[in-house]
Amino acid sequence: MLIKENSKSLFQKAQQLIPGGVNSPVRAFRAVGGEPLFIESAKGAYLFDVDGNSYIELINSWGPMILGHGNEAIEQAVIEALRKSPSFGAPTEAEVNVAELIVEMVPSIEKVRMVNSGTEATMSAIRLARGFTKKNKIIKFEGCYHGHGDSFLIAAGSGVATMGTPDSPGVTKGTANDTLTAPYNNLEAVEALIQKNKDQIAAVIIEPVAGNMGCVLPQEGYLQGLRSLCDSHGIILIFDEVMTGFRLAKGGAQELFGVMPDLTTLGKIIGGGMPVGAYGGRKEIMDWVSPAGPVYQAGTLSGNPIAMSAGFTMLNHLNSHEGIYSQLDKISERIFHGFQANLKAVSKNYTMNRIGSMISLFFTENKVTDFESAKTSDTELFGKYFNAMLENGVYIAPSQFETLFLSTAIDEKIADLIITANLTALKSIDGL
């Protein structure tokens, strides 16, 4: 039985000071029952909470800790940058170095602008696409989450799905009217929207591998089909690679699938765990960003020297270690097949999706290829599963609609501990 007294006390206090007691909704554990754990520290593949419990964790700060927690090289880079000052509000060599690495590693990016979060990156990319094309409407996909910008909170996944609110109050009708939605993995629906809104669509934005309705892979030819449609109709194709960028390959999903977007949004890994984001793409489009062009975007802390120093160390490591992605894939495959064997042993209908170091378990017998099929999952059963895993020392995402992210800190021994904990957890759940 886990000890939770200190977490309980902190959560009670937090609810008096912070809306819902958390600073991001999924952390509240409402989708899985119970109250959130307050984390004190982390190292390698392990989290440690304020009550002295330890967990093998499969979230890794929602993706960026691809090398595990407490990487010594990143820590040292942060310490050295901090000694010089946390912020200047002026250009630094570090941001140029990070930009150079991003341009080198991501196939479609010729120029890049640093921002402070994935949400800021997607908002900025949409504004740029509208300014460049002089069109107003965008197409997004049901279940894809691109941050909490107004334009994206229409048929979003992830947090809003977890909280049971498909759209958010405060989003104006005008904004909603300019956001068109299509089912993921459905080219015909996209083509129909384009024909119905001829010469009005500025951009199509998509997670090339969805991570916010759980891990959902693009069907064969789907991304290529989107590229062709956008080319035919003068539409900017935006890949939201906040999750997949530098995680699935050095050049992200676009390298893996061989499809080049016009703009790419990045986050997570490029800060080495520090708050950061970026958007980049073809030079002719990026040169429309102020001060080079008329599309305004600014940020006092953009290119923050601490985040840039951490990010450069992270990206340099990923760029210079050839075997890192095969290592992640090998561990991911081991866990994936271990979980599948366990689930078969308890005779439960389930679906598992995996690509590289991203994995999702859905409690549904249906193949999960879009948001509608993801929503057939038994979320009540997932809540029981989450808590059973926690009791067995494994911290997974507290939502059916979130992806698991693995790190290089998980070796074969730890992977086997995770698989064993998974079997014990499954056997303990009533109704399985």
β-bridge mates for residue 362, sequence order: 351
Element (DSSP H or E) covering residue 403: none
268 as an active site residue: the answer is yes
13 as an active site residue: the answer is no
Catalytic residue among 4, 46, 140, 240: 240
Rg of the chain over all Cα atoms, to the nearest angstrom: 21
Angle 324-345/412-428 helices, nearest 10 degrees?
20
240 as an active site residue: the answer is yes
Catalytic residue among 46, 145, 184, 350: 145
Distances (CA, A) of 29 to 16, 24, 58, 400, 428: 17, 11, 16, 11, 20
39-64 burial: b if 16+ Cβ within 10 Å, else e: eeebebbbbbbbbebebbbbbbebbb
Distances (CA, A) of 105 to 97, 278, 316: 12, 14, 10
Helix (H, G, I), strand (E, B) or coil at 378: coil
Say how far apart CA 26 and CA 29 lie, in whole Å: 6
201 φ/ψ sector (left φ>0, alpha ψ -120 to 50, else beta): beta
Say how far apart CA 289 and CA 113 lie, in whole Å: 9
Distances (CA, A) of 397 to 315, 357, 362: 25, 14, 12
| Structure token pair of residue 388 | 């059973």
Catalytic residue among 140, 268, 375, 384: 268
Helix (H, G, I), strand (E, B) or coil at 290: coil
Is residue 251 within 8 A of residue 208, CB to CB? The reply is no
Report, as residue numbers or ranges, the catalytic residues.
145, 240, 268
